[in-house]
Structures are given as structure tokens and as C-alpha cells.
Structure 1
Amino acid sequence: MIPASSSAYSQSRKFKEISYYTASSQRYYLLPFKFHRLSLEKEVIVNEIGDFLVIPTGTTSRIVAGEINPDNIADQELFADLIANFFISSTPLPELIEVLATRYRTKKSFLDYFTSLHIFVISLRCEHTCHYCQVSRVTSDKNKYDMKRVHIDAGIDIMMKSPNPHVTMEFQGGEALLAFENIVYAIERTKVEAEKHNKKVTYVICTNLALLTDEMIHFFSENSVLISTSLDGPAFIHNKNRHKPHASSHQLVIEGIRKCRATLGEERVSALVTTTALSLEHPEEIVDEYVRQGFRNIFLRPISPYGFATKSTDKNKYETGRFLEFYKKALNRIIQYNLDGYFIREDYAGIILKKMLTPFPVGYVDLQSPAGLVNNVIVFNYDGDIYASDEARMLAEMNDQTFKLGTLGESTYEEVFYGNKVSALSEVMINESLPGCSECAFQSYCGADPIFNHATQGDLAGHRPTSAFCQRNMEIIRYLISIMDEDKKTEKIFRSWITGKS
């Protein structure tokens, strides 16, 4: 209700008269940016394309109030940085607005060609009994859990319909090598179809390497297959996390890594860490093991709330704060190795740093906006069901079919990618418009994860103040910015992770 008194009304108004904003004495115009307090002494401002400046606490208020004076010697450097990095402009419309627009388009260019990664769950069988298994594996004698060739054919046909000229075909399990004959069939058929459709295909096999044979290695070499395996650290951690009856899974994976490297080359073999409660107690030892085995990168990731991982809560459940403590200790160990002359990159930090320090997009699904599910990845399950992402498939193993998009051989491409479920998902896939994300300074470095939100909070949009995804990413981003600001040697190391040059 408008107050009866016009004077009372004018006093209660939130906005000043238009003349206040158009006064000729205005030194500069504000461009869109957000800020976050890093510490008691410093804050960071971030613009729409991810450029950031670390400034003394209270500076943001001065910028917004128009108090930065280029005629003042103390403000000259700051004023120049603000202009150069598109935080303010000397004209209502920046002279380099097209440069700003081009950089924004480049950041979002991962959307240009649509789905790249096509995951084929070639078998749900596995001979390991990992307590944190996120796909609810079955024992190795149940052949009905192998992907039928009619479904393989249908998955390949959908992959060939992708508008993306460069697609990735990734084989997962269970243990994918238990269905090696079907992998051979799938790759041989894909090679024929790729030539027809003028597509370049990258092949990836996710495997524990325990079943590796010389025949398999030869096939991988002939077809330029990339190998992705799991290494959770030294033997006392790896064997506990990734149990194999009557054998040392650590010994088997190390032997497999060495054999693959000898034939395929070091750059074609990668490994992932999954952090259990046991892992959190040994961050330095895990990093040391990766260095001991000659790796130049390590991906530190928390356990996911899917599959068997949700059942062994004593081994797998831990607070996000504990993971962050582990992550920082491990990251500091990695930085020290780089300072001592051994190049090794932490991949999760590397993805975020690429978003911070370059104008280029990243292909990591969890840190994309719009979210990478469907836009960048699709999953074909062993039984022919189609899911929006690998995590969606894991939820299905827990009897939650929320993110099932169709069935191979029955659903058309249009029904899968443009159906009602994808339309509903698209409303919560953009962090620029999500509550709590839209005003976050770290928005451009983060992503949207409706599947994680659904699994942990029962809501696709999610609730940021209680989100483990939000808590983890915000603190990692804050930490990366802080240590770069405090130590230029660390910043130089981080930049080397992006370029790949030590």
C-alpha cells in the first residue's frame, strides 16, 4: 500500500531518483559482477565470464558506491584492473562489449555439438567385491547381466545420430573385461558406422585390469583404446576398498597398469581415486602412491551416494568437512611435489582452474551449466534402458527410475533427447537461474547437478545451504583462489596444470 503522505512515501522508497544514476559527475558504470568474502582481510569479485580480482575487504562497497577515483594515485592501479577485466566501464556500453560477448560464447561452446560421451554398460558382472561399488554389481557367473548385441547395435545407432562430429564410446561395468567379446564386437561395428557417418570416435574402457590378457592389450593398441582404472592408494588402502577374493587387487592393478603402459604409452592409461572413510586418514600416502607409480595426474573425488556405497555407511559415510580436510592436505602434498620438481596435477582443481584462468569450456559433466547430463553424456544400460547420466543409472539400480529416458530399440532419438523428462530436467540444469546459485560469486566455476540434488535432498533444484555439492565446491574454489593470491609460485604451478607444461 502507498502511504497517504507523499513525503512518507519518498522516505520509504528503496531506489534513488534517476538523476542520481545519470549524473554527469559519474566516473564509471558498473558491469555485472558478484563478490565473496575470502577472509577477514580479503574478498574476491568475479564477473560474468569468470575473471576475478582479489581485493581488500570493503573495496567492493567502494566500487559499488562509485568511490574508485582514477585521479587518486592510490586507486589508479585498481581502476585500471577493473576496467581491463570488465568489472566497470567508462561508458554506459563498454567499447569492447563484443570481446566480452565472444568470451562468454566460448565459455558455453561445449553446447555447440550436443552429446559427446556415450557410456555402454557392457556388463553388470564383476569379480571384485568393493564395498563402495556405486553400480550394485552382480557376481561374475550371471551372464544375463551382459548387454545384448541388439542393444549394442541400437546404442551405436543413437550415437551415430549425435550432431557431434567427435564422440566418445566408453565401456563400463561391473567389470567390462568380463564381456570382452562384446567390446570387440561393439568397436568393430562402430568403426564401420563411424566411416559411414564421418565421425571420429574415441574408445575408453573402465576396468580394474585384473582380467587383462595379452590378447586384450593387442586389441587396445590396434584400436587406440584409452584405459581408465581405479587406484585408491597403497596396498593397505586399495585392497581394503577394492576387495578381490583370494587375491591382491592392488598387485593386479599395478601389474595391469605397467603392461598397458608398455604397449599403449603412459598417456593412454589413467586412474581414479575413490575416497572412503579409511582413505580420509591417509591423504599424503595416497598422493605418494601415485607418484611412486609414475602418474602425472590424480583425481581426488568423494564417494557418491549411490548403489552399495549407501549400504556400508561405517566405511563410506563421512561429513563433507572431513573430505575437504583430506582434499586440502592431499592438494598441498601435490603442490609440494611440483615445487620439488615432479610434475603432477590434481584433476578436479585443474578443471576449476581452467574455468578460472582461461576463456575455454570444460568437458566435465558435474561442472557445466547447463548441466552436462544429456547435453554431454548419455548412458545405455546393460538391459537396454537409457539414462541421463551415469549417476542416473546408479539410482536406477536402487529402484529409482526418475531419470530413465527410454529403451534401446524402442525409443526414437527424438523421444530420448527431446522428451518430457529432458524438458523437465532442463528447468533445473542452469545454475545461473537456480536459487542460491544465481547470486553466488563462484557460479561461473561451478555447475548444476539435479541428480545429486534428487538423490540427497529429494528435490531437483536442491537447497544450497544444506547441499554437500555446494559446500564442497564453494570451499575448494575459495581455497584455490586464496592460495594463488598468497603464493605466486603456487599460481605458476596451477597455470602449468592447464598448459600441461611444468
Structure 2
Amino acid sequence: MNNPLKPALDKKTRKFKEYNSYNLQSNNYYLLPFRFIRLDEQNELLVNEVGDFLIVSSGTVERIVNKKLDKISDEELYADLIAAFFISETPIPALLDVISTRYRTKKSFLDHFTALHIFVISLRCEHTCHYCQVSRVSENKKAFDMQRHHIDKGIDLMMKSPNPHITMEFQGGEALLAFENITYAVIQAKEKAMLLNKKISFVICTNLAVITDEMLKFCKEHEILISSSLDGPSFIHNKNRHRNGNNSYELAVKGIEESRQVLGFDRVSALLTTTNLSLLYPHEIVDEYYKLGFRNIFLRPISPYGFANYNERKNHYKTSEFLDFYKKALDKIIELNLRGEFFREDYAAIILRKILTPFPVGYVDLQSPAGMINSVIVFNYDGKVYATDEARMLAETKDYTFELGSLDTHSYEELFYGDKARFFSDAWTNESLPGCSECALQSYCGADPVFNYATQGTFIGHRPTSSFCERNMAIIKHLFLLMEKDARIKTIFRTWITGNN
């Protein structure tokens, strides 16, 4: 019988190259840590440990790594690589302290720990949105309002955060249906913040359908921001966000206008959720935001949590379909800017801040370590405490994986530094996640164990099949290519992160 291993046994043992082949001391420059990726057939992207980047022609990475650069004939490229900390002429770069300072700056969002504290003030709602991620209840069921003793305990824990500037955000259901609890919470929180010398901001997330003059007067008095929902023109919004009377859009627009009149134009924001219907109308949705006076829009997909998963026909689509929608909408937005009109896409602006500045971002989905606990915490209407808003959405479908404990029984230390928090920390840093650790786009992305768990059943996730990874890689690469293609677009993008329009 033939031996199937014979070819392998006959093969001669390979020898290592001579020592001098690996002796870096004999070369003219030293490689510093960086990652790279092909943007397209013509361009490669190099990114170092602090997010500095260079876009170079294809084949350049191979020349750099194989020490084929010539300081004289490649003078400009060589100088750029030295200046941007991709290579060094000494084993330890002379400006190593500068690199370390910039890295600390990138991670400075960790300096003060949790800032955003979400209070789910009620599950009651008068809408029946088909993409709702929580088990909303009818507006007359007050048993699903947050109890005062839970509000008090939540405020006490919020005040223990070492962060000097905290945000208290009220969510639902429809938060305004429990407005008396909001007024109680705001007054209590302001008094305690003043005693502890903390700065506190307030946000109410609302569909605006039930807002009144009395509510707006209170919001004005206490400088409360309004975060509303707008899914586009009426034929999209009313289809997505159903309520009796089929007038959700009309009430939202009316509420936006009234809120602006009382609170100020910049105190009212709106958030889009992209459904299957939305995918067909990228330009119309952008036009609607522009028509209503907004100068920004956040193009975001449906979150894969809770009850939003149950309506497949309306809520499920491929990541590639969302990316096609996103790019068409972004083209429309760029077109507006090229005509001299300032209009920003917020998700791109967050990524661009990470690309074009040394500063961190406050958006929890694109942080590493992840925003869960480090930046945000959720106090649910029933006193349960969750690591993120998405975590409490999972709990509404009886999955309590990310429940940290209860306001009734757990201390601040047990909730924020306990066994569960430490357990989650094993998977919340993309610098150490498989598939992320070697990715060139790592500095511009984040880690999200809750998303990984909800979509792939594991905190770590699997990058080749991750929709989070697919979406972010495509958008980041697209932004780089747009800037490389047209200097005018890069100038526009810079206005989005500086606010200079």
C-alpha cells in the first residue's frame, strides 16, 4: 500500500536563514508599530498606534517592510513616514514621549468614568412602532413607571460617579407620559449635583406627540435638551411609527417647531431609524431633514435587539443594502455642502473626528474599551441595572446576560466594579480581540460585546461574519477614499468636526 505521508517524509527539512538576514541593526531605519489595509487597487492605508495615517500607492507597504526605501530617492515618502511615526532612524524614537501623550489623549474618555446615566422612566407609550426594541405597554399602565425610591437610588449612584460632568437621560416607552416623575428627578438631581459641585445635563427622549406648553416651560427653566425621532417624510415616518390617527409625523413636526420656539433651535435634535422602507428613499430622507431646518442627520441601521427582531419583513435587511443606502444619502449630503450649505452626517463626523484629530469621541459604540459601564449605565423602570441601553433591550426578551444587579440590593461598587463588570471587560477592548488586534482600522472603530452576543452568541464575536465589522470597515474606507479623491470633500469633512461652516 502506498504511504500517503511519503511525500512529506521525503521532503528535506527547511533551514533558517543566516543570522545576518534578521539583523535589523544593519538597516537604515527601524519599523514602528503600524497596520495596513488595501483601500482599492491603487491605494494602501497605513495607520499607526495613535491613529495617524498615510495613504500610499499599492506596493508601498511591501517596500517599507522589506527595507527597500531609499532616503534620497524616496525623500518625500521617507520624511512622511518619519514624521508620522511609522519608521524611526533609531531603535527608540526620539519623540517617544509625544507618541505616548497622544495615545493617552485618545483614551482620555476613560479619565472620569461613567458620564451618561439613562433612567427608563416609564415603559408606557401611545405609539406602536414596528421596530421598537422594548416591550412597550399601553399608556394607562402606571405600574410600568419608575418608582420614586428607584429614582432616588439611581440619582445617589449617579452622583458617586467620579465624572465631574454627568448626563441624566430620560427614556421610555414615551418618557413624557411620566412627566411628573421627570420633574421630581430633575429637581432632586440638581440639588444633589449642586452640593457635590458636579455639572449636570438633562435629556428627554420623546416622540413629542404628547408634549405640552407646561412641559416645555419646565424644560426651558432647567435647560433640558429634547431628543426626538424623525424617520423622514410623512409616508415613511407614519408607516414606521404608527399611532392611532396615523398622525405621528404631523405631531412630531409640530412638536419640533414648538420646542425650538421655546427652548432654542439647537436644543432640539432628531434621530432616524432606517427600515426596509427607508432604504428606498435616501435622498428624500435627507431632503426632509434639510426642509425642516436640521443641519445634521444620523444615518443609523435598526438595532438587532428585542422586539425589533420579530418583524422580519419590515426590519431585516442585509448590511450591504444599508451601506448602499448610506452612501447614496452621504452623496446627497456632500452635494449640499458643495453648494455652500452646511449639513453634517453625524456617524461620519464621529469617525472623522477619530481620523483627523487626536481627540476621543463620546459615542459609546465606537469606543475601546467599550462604552458599556465605562461611559454609560442604564437604570430600568423596575430597578434593574444594565450595562447599556441595548442590554436592557435584550432583557425585554428575557435575556438577562448583561444585567448588573438591582438598585434595591446592590451597591455602587458591586454594580460598576463587580464580578460581572470584570467578566465583560475581557471582551471590551478591540486592541486585544481576534480580528481587531491586527486590523488597520482598529483606531477608528470600537468594541461592542453586547452587539457581538446578540448577533453571534459570543462576547468576542467573529469578525469575518460580523455586520458591525462589515458596516464600519466599509464606511471608514469609503470616507478615506472620498477624501483622497477630492480635496474639497476633505475640507467639508473638517468643517463637520470643527463646526466652522
Task: Tell me the TM-score normalized by structure 1.
Answer: 0.96
For 1:209, give the aligned amino acid. Answer: L
CA distance in 2, matches of 1:194, 1:443: 37
Q: Give the paired residue count.
A: 490
For 1:59, give the aligned amino acid. Answer: T
The C-alpha deviation readout for 1:166-208, integer Å capped at 9, x for no partner, is: 0000000000000000000000000111011111001000000
CA distance in 2, matches of 1:224, 1:388: 27
Residues 245-324 of structure 1 aligned to structure 2 (within 5 Å): 245-324=244-323
For 1:298, give the aligned amino acid. Answer: I
For 2:281, give the aligned amino acid. Answer: H
Per-residue deviation, 1:264? 1.1
CA distance in 1, matches of 2:337, 2:243: 34
CA distance in 1, matches of 2:335, 2:137: 41
Alignment match, 1:178: 177
Residues 154-165 of structure 1 aligned to structure 2 (within 5 Å): 154-165=153-164
The C-alpha deviation readout for 1:30-72, integer Å capped at 9, x for no partner, is: 1100110111111111111111111111100000011111111
Q: Is structure 2 residue 234 aligned with structure 1 residue 232?
A: no
Q: Is structure 2 residue 348 aligned with structure 1 residue 346?
A: no
CA distance in 1, matches of 2:264, 2:87: 49
Alignment match, 1:166: 165
For 2:411, give the aligned amino acid. Answer: T
CA distance in 2, matches of 1:497, 1:465: 31
Alignment match, 2:64: 63
The structure-2 alpha-carbon separation of the partners of 1:101 and 1:16, relative to structure 1 and needing over 3 Å to count, comes to farther
Alignment match, 1:109: 108
Contact kept in structure 1, 2:305 and 2:393, CA below 8 Å: yes
Contact kept in structure 1, 2:209 and 2:252, CA below 8 Å: yes
Per-residue deviation, 1:210? 0.4
Residues 65-214 of structure 1 aligned to structure 2 (within 5 Å): 65-72=66-73, 75-214=74-213
Alignment match, 1:5: none
The C-alpha deviation readout for 1:343-388, integer Å capped at 9, x for no partner, is: 0110000000000000000011100000000000000000000000
For 1:129, give the aligned amino acid. Answer: T
Per-residue deviation, 1:16? 5.8
The C-alpha deviation readout for 1:130-172, integer Å capped at 9, x for no partner, is: 0000122111111110000000000000000000000000000
Q: Is structure 2 residue 24 aligned with structure 1 residue 22?
A: yes
CA distance in 2, matches of 1:99, 1:23: 24
For 2:307, give the aligned amino acid. Answer: F
Alignment match, 2:335: 336
Per-residue deviation, 1:18? 5.8
Contact kept in structure 1, 2:238 and 2:246, CA below 8 Å: no
Q: Is structure 2 residue 447 aligned with structure 1 residue 448?
A: yes
CA distance in 2, matches of 1:255, 1:417: 41
Per-residue deviation, 1:22? 3.4
Q: Once superposed, which parts of structure 1, at least 4 consecutive aligned residues long, lie more than 6 Å away? A: none
Alignment match, 2:430: 431
Contact kept in structure 1, 2:24 and 2:30, CA below 8 Å: no
Question: SS state of the match for residue 40, structure 1?
Answer: coil
CA distance in 1, matches of 2:95, 2:150: 51
Per-residue deviation, 1:19? 6.5
Question: SS state of the match for residue 288, structure 2?
Answer: helix
The structure-2 alpha-carbon separation of the partners of 1:65 and 1:408, relative to structure 1 and needing over 3 Å to count, comes to same
For 1:323, give the aligned amino acid. Answer: F
Question: SS state of the match for residue 70, structure 1?
Answer: coil
Per-residue deviation, 1:20? 3.6
Alignment match, 2:366: 367
CA distance in 2, matches of 1:33, 1:373: 27
CA distance in 2, matches of 1:89, 1:227: 50
CA distance in 1, matches of 2:69, 2:15: 28
Alignment match, 1:51: 52
Q: Is structure 2 residue 418 aligned with structure 1 residue 410?
A: no
CA distance in 2, matches of 1:16, 1:162: 58
Alignment match, 2:326: 327
Alignment match, 2:356: 357
CA distance in 2, matches of 1:247, 1:150: 37
Question: SS state of the match for residue 301, structure 1?
Answer: coil
CA distance in 2, matches of 1:23, 1:189: 65
CA distance in 1, matches of 2:243, 2:23: 69
Unaligned runs of 5+ in 1: 1-7
CA distance in 2, matches of 1:102, 1:135: 42
Per-residue deviation, 1:308? 2.0
The structure-2 alpha-carbon separation of the partners of 1:391 and 1:12, relative to structure 1 and needing over 3 Å to count, comes to farther
Question: SS state of the match for residue 128, structure 1?
Answer: coil
Per-residue deviation, 1:21? 2.6
Unaligned runs of 5+ in 2: 1-11
Per-residue deviation, 1:23? 3.8
The C-alpha deviation readout for 1:376-425, integer Å capped at 9, x for no partner, is: 00000000000000000000001000000010131000110111111110
Q: Is structure 2 residue 492 aligned with structure 1 residue 501?
A: no
Alignment match, 1:35: 36
Question: SS state of the match for residue 204, structure 2?
Answer: strand
Task: Tell me the TM-score normalized by structure 2.
Answer: 0.96
CA distance in 2, matches of 1:16, 1:350: 50
Per-residue deviation, 1:287? 0.3
CA distance in 1, matches of 2:142, 2:67: 70
CA distance in 2, matches of 1:408, 1:94: 50
Question: SS state of the match for residue 427, structure 2?
Answer: coil
